[in-house]
Amino acid sequence: MPASLFDPPGEPEPDPLLARWTAVDVHLGNILVPTDPALDAALDASDAADLPPAQVATNLGKLLQLLGLAVGARRILEVGTLGGYATIWLARALPPAGELVTLEIEPRYAAVAQANVDRAGTGDRVDIRVGPALDSLAALRREGGPPFDLVLVDADEQHGAEYVEHAVALAHPGTVIVVAGTVKGGAVADETATDDRILGTRRVHEALAADPRVEATALQTVGSRGWDGFTLAVVVR
């Protein structure tokens, strides 16, 4: 069984597939996503502050930046800031007058993220809002600002479908919505699963499939972070 995010606890078996996936990530990263002092510093600071290493993989971070550039994003929403690693990638897609709103429940994580986005030179474009994301999303809807062009949903999976529902309401036709971590070592396909993170992820896909306002797909990925994937939706009406 390849490296799964849902492997049982304990000393993991050395996994030859994981070693090969990691080697390919290193190879591709060295050419296409070279070492970046600001992003490396963000990871080091997050590590030093004991934040969980739950940030998106480097190549997914770069993909998020590319998606932002492809849609000409001026306003980006992120649900789940952690230490601001993906925030930095996303903010780099914005023009100087662009705005990124990112939602985080843990004040301590938000403080680390603020220092990281400032160090990366993106702090002027980033608005970190602390509190339960459902509350922050409801507040954003009440504020009635311009729609978001790109949304990353990367927080507690239990509320994933509600986050996507808010994201669609805060979007416009053409907005891209990415939901990170939606394969979970293959566990998403386990119809006997009882883990509420997996059940929540399954609900995201069911909700997207049933929503006539979006078209969606999901892709499996392998790499240094193991076997996972992401879901991509485009608002069509």
Q: Which residues bind ligand SAM (CB under 6 A)?
A: 54-56, 78, 80-82, 85-86, 103-106, 109, 132-133, 154-156
Q: What is the DSSP string of 95-125?
A: -TT-EEEEEES-HHHHHHHHHHHHHTT-GGG
Q: Is 88 exposed, middle or buried (0-12, 13-18, 19+ CB in 10 A)?
A: buried
Minimum CB distance to ligand SAM smaller for 53 or for 146: 53
Kindly state the smallest distance separating residue 236's Cβ from ligand SAM, in Å: 25
CA distance 221 to 223: 7
Minimum gap (Å) between residue 30 Cβ and ligand SAM = 21
DSSP H/E element including 140: helix 133-143
Report the nearest approach of ligand SAM to the CB of residue 35 (Å): 17
Smallest distance, ligand SAM to C-beta of residue 16, A? 27
> Which residue, 149 or 154, has its beta carbon nearer to ligand SAM?
154
Nearer to ligand SAM, 2 or 132 (CB): 132
- Name the minimum Å distance from CB 13 to ligand SAM: 25
The residue ranges of DSSP E strands in the chain, in sequence order, are: 75-79, 99-104, 126-130, 150-153, 176-180, 214-223, 226-235
User: Which residue is it, tokens 């306003």?
Assistant: 75
Q: Which of 66, 78, 148 is nearest to 110 (CA)?
A: 78
Min CB(185)–ligand SAM separation in Å? 15
Q: Which is nearer to ligand SAM, 58 or 175 (CB)?
A: 58
Looking at the Cβ atoms of 56 and 77, the one nearer to ligand SAM is 56
Which C-beta is closer to ligand SAM: that of 53 or that of 173?
Answer: 53
Query: Residue written as tokens 């069509």?
Result: 236
